[in-house]
Homo-oligomer: A and B are copies of this chain.
């Protein structure tokens, strides 16, 4: 990620927003396993870069409703591409079938 001036957290957050739609900071954090305070910092960066927008939720003014901007969507694709590239590089010793198997085993561990 650093290779494209990004962070793992940026990818996680953008991906979560893309997958689940706009949401509050904490709930995005819970989904990604990111601490509240870290979320705060990451969203500061992402808003400064214009990749997400923070607006207080009209339905619950305690909340900041986070939304992805079009630029954020493009950014997500960039990060995604880079991630695939790195992953490919990392796993080049394994065949496609072996990669699948590895993913499967690791997924079971995660669960």
- Residues B105 and A98 in contact, CB atoms below 8 Å apart: yes
* A96 contacts B by Cβ under 8 Å: no
Copies, count: 2
* A109 contacts B by Cβ under 8 Å: yes
Total chain A interface residues with beta-carbon distance under 8 A: 12
Closest to A110 in B: B93
Closest to A102 in B: B105
* A90 contacts B by Cβ under 8 Å: yes
* A101 contacts B by Cβ under 8 Å: yes
- Residues B109 and A105 in contact, CB atoms below 8 Å apart: no
Residues on A facing B (Cβ under 8 Å): 90-91, 93-94, 98, 101-102, 105-106, 108-109, 111
